[in-house]
Amino acid sequence: MSDDIGELNVPSRLLLGPGPSNVHPRVYRAMMAPVIGYLDPQFLQLLDDTQRPLRALFRTENDMTIAISGTGTAGMEAAIYNVVEPGDTVIVCFNGFFGDRMAQMARRCDAEPVLVEAEWGRIIEPEQVEQALKANPGAKLVAIVHGETSTGILQPLEEISRIVHAHDALLLVDAVTSLAGCDLRIDDWGVDVCLSGTQKCLSAPPGMAPLTLSPQAMEVVAKRKEPVRSWYLDVSMLRNYWGAGKARVYHHTPPMTMLYALREALRIVLEEGLETRIVRHRRHAEALWAGVEAMGLQLHAQEGHRLPSLTTVRVPEGIDEMTLRRGLLQEHNIEVGGGIGVLQGQVWRIGLMGYNATAQNVLGLLYALETELARQGFKVETGAGVAAAVQSLNAAL
């Protein structure tokens, strides 16, 4: 019996779902560089070359700005596990799938999560956070998702940050789907802990999690009563590994190829210009929104607070959402996502992230969507979506 499993043959898809996004060709090329040892002087330079642009991307001067060796979920665990201890009260804003995940992580730290809830598709209002803080004096942390991948909501943070700090708490933000695609200002907005991932608007493969902690957050880490429950994600050790303020001390063997990928992805962002990139995401998202509505479909997320990098579209009555997604994949080679959590079966999730936020992708998807809707008997005026998107794109020039 042969043990030969054959040559790897993975299809090349247009990934317009909730992530990962397609990887930029330059990032793939960077990943072909030779693996070197973690004590090589070139590796130490690589860490420096990664930290500087990460600070620019987060818009922060935080000394503790690194990339966790792991996916965005590892970044979320690092963010929570380092500042949360047993008995702490943690206010978790819960209006989507990833708010729930943060609450679960807080419970694993033996903390007491207090949920501030909103409908999946609407923002958390500042008044809700203030009420929770007043009802829970001494709360240590407020955790909130900036770009909620499950709902397509872009959460305003500035007023909530002001309220959080007025109550002497820390603000922790999940920016996995917003970093490098939406306006995010760590220092100006007073965000104490922020995590992200590489596979969304950075257009690198999943595998690294950018993370930044303010001096106030690092002071909380330094005053912990017990060690961080995850040795691997303990930022007090990772700080020395990355050389933030001290000579570097070995901690773990890094995913060298992923560091190459992140470094090149950061170069690409800064070459384009962060502001220019944010405008590009907004422009193409607005074209998609115009096209979707012109086809007679409804957007799910609250108007005025829609996430440019991830759009949620309501599934029309009588349409089999999974059949449509299967048609997009098999007939057009396009992947979009279905709903998760309470929105399962109710929405499609369409990502325009990083390298994928282009007019070509918007127009191609709208044509494919029209084709697959018509196949199920949904009446769409031929070309209406594409025409509306083109008009939106031209108006933005």
Please provide residue 288's backbone torsions phi and psi, each rounded to the nearest 5 degrees: -65, -45
Region(s) of the chain under CATH 3.40.640.10: 25-271
- Parts of the chain with a pLDDT under 50: none
In the chain, alpha helices (H): 25-30, 41-58, 72-83, 97-108, 126-135, 158-166, 186-189, 215-222, 235-241, 256-272, 274-294, 321-332, 359-375, 384-395
Supply the pLDDT for residue 41: 87
Distances (CA, A) of 359 to 282, 330, 371: 12, 22, 18
Q: Name the segment(s) of the chain with CATH classification 3.90.1150.10.
A: 275-395
Q: What angle do CA 106, 108, 113 make, to 5 degrees?
A: 30
Report d(CA 258, CA 69) in Å as an integer: 8
Task: Report the pLDDT value the prediction gives residue 368, as an integer from 0 to 100.
Answer: 98
pLDDT for position 332: 98
Question: Do 392 and 286 form a contact (C-beta atoms < 8 A)?
Answer: yes
Q: What is the pLDDT of residue 396?
A: 82
The torsion defined by the Cα of 195, 198, 199 and 201, in degrees rounded to 10, comes to: 80
Residue 319: the pLDDT is 97
Residue 195 bridge partners (DSSP): 174, 211
Token couple for 269:
């962002």
Closest CA to 281 of 165, 389, 180: 180
Q: Return the pLDDT at 375.
A: 96
pLDDT at 2: 58
> Residue 161, Cβ neighbours under 10 Å: how many?
21
Question: Which pTM was predicted?
Answer: 0.96
* Confidence at residue 231, expressed as pLDDT on a 0 to 100 scale: 96
Dist. CA 19–CA 21, nearest whole Å? 5
Q: Can you name the CATH fold of 25-271?
A: Aspartate Aminotransferase; domain 2 (3.40.640)
Query: 275-395: CATH homologous superfamily?
Result: Aspartate Aminotransferase, domain 1 (3.90.1150.10)
Give the pLDDT confidence of 342-367 residue by residue, as tens digits: 999 999 999 999 999 999 999 999 99
Q: pLDDT at position 38, please?
A: 87
